């Protein structure tokens, strides 16, 4: 990864920043703004305002030393003013930041690097990595795409953040050296949200927000969570948390090209594939939801998690039999026979008990059709036997060289995806893949590659995989990887 580092130069203290960005209304006709007009105070002797003649934004200097007396900074501008300034994407505001606020800085958040003195020395970008470095909180910020400014209002905004980086596109810095950008967008954590601690924060916490308040000692925002596993309430600093999204969630886009649109999450995406694994996803692929009277001009959209607000969590569903998935039709599935259900225990069925075979479903099953008899082609004697679907478990072991059973993570093998990856993404259920990172059998997560792809490996828990012997079946065929 090609990065510029701001770690060494800031070890002896934070940068001295003379900027003090704050909104205000003009109280004097001497300023380049009509009385009552909105401006942004940048430094004690300068401000940014809309250019009356040519449009856009312009920086003005006020050397007389009493700028504060000419500006009423007690209010906030209306939404249309903020939107107009934001959409100008002016380089003057590239590093404009908020001094206070409850915006959670996480993956995808727009930030300013507080690393210089004057406003024109400040840089801005988007967080694409959050973690620990030498025991301290550090962030990776994408400040450019192939040397060019990032356009947050483009439909390919996420692709800009995910594109291969060049020298100068990425900055690694301490977390204390960044601030939420003036137009960071997104929303603060709210009651009912499902959140988790960020990478590098220990102990790891996850749960539903029960209460939000400010601590009396440090004036920090604190969140009380209810942990689902222990049902206990715990308190965590707001800045140490990030929202949890999962496939099926319904969200509303509040920033960028797709602003105002609603969609359902179908996949979670990395913002920077070259970073260390386990830092979490920062972007979402949405299936856009359209009103009935609106033409569907675009089916999918990619946005950062910082660009959306959660409307509805995907419902928690009860247990579903692993075979009740239509994507598994006409796939070779190696199975383990665990019983015969209500069927008569014939000699053939008795010999099949606790042994391996393979099946090829000709039609989709549901939880209500689990008593359907499925033809199992047994491994040992090549016989066929019919077994109720509910009595078939996915095969997750092989025979080792010494005849001992080893799990799927200990030898390269073809598998079928039957459940979500480590981030909850279920979009590849039913696809063939190959386990290619071999371990000692102690890992509960394995890495796989998909046929015909050279992209990043998928990471799946063992329970989301079913062995699929890579040879021609009765109606299925070998896969070339």
Domain coverage including residue 65: 22-93
Q: Could you tell me the two tokens for 142?
A: 């994408």
Give residue 58's pLDDT. Answer: 93
Identify whether residues 367 and 465 lie together within a single domain.
yes
The residue out of 208, 243, 278 marking a domain boundary is: 243
Give residue 49's pLDDT. Answer: 94
At residue 414, what are phi and psi to the nearest 5 degrees?
-80, 140
Q: Span 370-382, mean pLDDT?
A: 91
Number of domains composing the chain: 4
pLDDT digits (tens, 9 = 90+) for 173-214: 888 888 888 888 655 678 888 888 876 677 778 888 999 888
Identify whether residues 235 and 258 lie together within a single domain.
no
Q: Is residue 26 part of a domain?
A: yes
Is the per-residue pLDDT at 278 higher than 50?
no
Q: Is residue 189 part of a domain?
A: no
Q: Is residue 132 part of a domain?
A: no
Which residues, at least 6 apart from 138, have a Cβ–Cβ distance to it below 8 Å? Answer: 7, 130, 131, 132, 172, 173, 174, 175
Which residues, at least 6 apart from 24, have a Cβ–Cβ distance to it below 8 Å? Answer: 38, 39, 40, 41, 47, 71, 72, 73
Higher-confidence residue of 277 and 351: namely 351
Is the per-residue pLDDT at 283 higher than 60?
yes
Is the per-residue pLDDT at 381 higher than 60?
yes
CB 407 within 8 A of CB 462: yes
* Percent of residues, the chain, with pLDDT higher than 70: 84
Q: Tokens 């960071």: give the residue.
A: 184
Distance CA 301, CA 310 (A): 16
Is the per-residue pLDDT at 2 higher than 50?
no
Q: Is residue 42 part of a domain?
A: yes
Identify whether residues 288 and 390 lie together within a single domain.
no
Give residue 100's pLDDT. Answer: 59
Identify whether residues 450 and 338 lie together within a single domain.
yes
Identify whether residues 426 and 475 lie together within a single domain.
yes
Q: Is residue 17 part of a domain?
A: no
Q: Is residue 153 part of a domain?
A: no
What CATH number corresponds to the domain at position 285?
2.30.30
Q: Is residue 163 part of a domain?
A: no
* DSSP states of 60-87: EE-TTS-GGGGEE-SS---HHHHHHHHH
pLDDT band, very low/low/confident/very high, at 11 (cuts 50, 70, 90): very low
The residue out of 209, 225, 243 marking a domain boundary is: 243
Identify whether residues 370 and 459 lie together within a single domain.
yes
Identify whether residues 207 and 295 lie together within a single domain.
no
The residue out of 63, 93, 123 marking a domain boundary is: 93
Identify whether residues 230 and 302 lie together within a single domain.
no
Residue 37 vs residues 19, 50, 72, 80, 119: alpha-carbon distances, Å: 21, 9, 10, 13, 22
CB 262 within 8 A of CB 422: no
Q: Is residue 49 part of a domain?
A: yes
Identify whether residues 258 and 326 lie together within a single domain.
no
Poorest-pLDDT segment among 141-150, 284-293, 393-402, 461-470: 284-293
pLDDT band, very low/low/confident/very high, at 237 (cuts 50, 70, 90): confident
Distance CA 267, CA 301 (A): 11
Give residue 7's pLDDT. Answer: 45
Identify whether residues 260 and 344 lie together within a single domain.
no
pLDDT digits (tens, 9 = 90+) for 41-86: 988 889 999 987 777 899 999 988 789 899 998 888 998 999 899 9
Identify whether residues 294 and 221 lie together within a single domain.
no
Identify whether residues 200 and 345 lie together within a single domain.
no
CB 138 within 8 A of CB 172: yes
Give residue 409's pLDDT. Answer: 84
Residue 90 vs residues 54, 62, 93, 150, 419: alpha-carbon distances, Å: 14, 21, 6, 12, 45
Give residue 1's pLDDT. Answer: 40
């Amino acid at each position: 990864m090609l990065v510029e580092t701001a770690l060494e130069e800031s070890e002896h203290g934070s940068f001295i920043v003379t900027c003090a960005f704050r909104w205000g209304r003009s109280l004097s006709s001497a300023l380049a703004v009509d009385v009552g007009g909105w401006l942004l105070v940048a430094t004690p002797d300068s401000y940014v305002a809309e250019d009356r003649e040519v449009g856009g934004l312009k920086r003005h200097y006020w050397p007389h030393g009493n700028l504060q007396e000419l500006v009423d900074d007690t209010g906030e501008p209306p939404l249309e003013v903020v939107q107009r300034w934001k959409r100008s994407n002016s380089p003057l505001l590239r590093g404009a930041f908020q001094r206070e606020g409850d915006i959670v800085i996480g993956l995808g958040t727009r930030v300013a690097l507080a690393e210089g003195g004057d406003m024109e020395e400040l840089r801005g970008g988007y967080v694409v990595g959050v973690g620990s470095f030498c025991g301290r909180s550090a962030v990776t910020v994408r400040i450019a795409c192939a040397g060019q400014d990032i356009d947050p209002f483009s439909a390919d905004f996420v692709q800009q953040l995910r594109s291969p980086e060049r020298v100068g596109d990425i900055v690694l810095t301490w977390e204390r050296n960044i601030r939420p950008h003036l137009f960071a967008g997104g929303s603060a954590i709210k009651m009912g949200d499902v959140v988790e601690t960020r990478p590098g924060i220990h102990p790891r916490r996850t749960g539903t927000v029960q209460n939000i308040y400010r601590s009396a000692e440090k004036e920090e925002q604190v969140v009380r969570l209810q942990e689902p596993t222990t049902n206990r309430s715990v308190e965590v600093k707001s800045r140490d948390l990030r929202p949890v999204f999962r496939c099926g969630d319904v969200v509303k886009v509040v920033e960028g090209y797709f602003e105002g649109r609603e969609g359902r999450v179908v996949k979670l995406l990395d913002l920077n594939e070259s970073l260390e694994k386990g830092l979490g996803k920062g972007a979402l692929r949405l299936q856009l939801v359209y009103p009935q009277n609106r033409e569907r001009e675009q089916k999918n959209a990619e946005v950062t998690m910082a660009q959306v607000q959660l409307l509805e969590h995907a419902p928690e569903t009860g247990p579903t039999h692993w075979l009740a998935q239509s994507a598994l039709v006409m796939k070779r599935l190696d199975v383990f026979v665990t019983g015969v259900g209500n069927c008569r225990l014939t000699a053939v069925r008795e010999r099949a008990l606790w042994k391996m075979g393979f099946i090829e479903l000709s039609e989709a099953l549901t939880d209500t059709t689990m008593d359907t008899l499925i033809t199992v082609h047994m491994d040992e004697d090549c016989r066929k036997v019919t077994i109720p679907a509910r009595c078939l478990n996915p095969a997750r072991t092989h025979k080792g060289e010494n005849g001992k059973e080893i799990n799927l993570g200990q030898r390269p093998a073809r598998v079928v995806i039957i459940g979500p990856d480590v981030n909850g993404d279920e979009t590849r259920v039913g696809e063939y893949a190959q386990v290619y990172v071999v371990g000692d059998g102690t890992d509960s997560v394995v890495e796989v590659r998909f046929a015909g792809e050279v992209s990043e490996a998928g990471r799946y828990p063992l329970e989301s995989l079913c062995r699929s012997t890579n040879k021609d079946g009765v109606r299925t065929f070998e896969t070339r990887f």
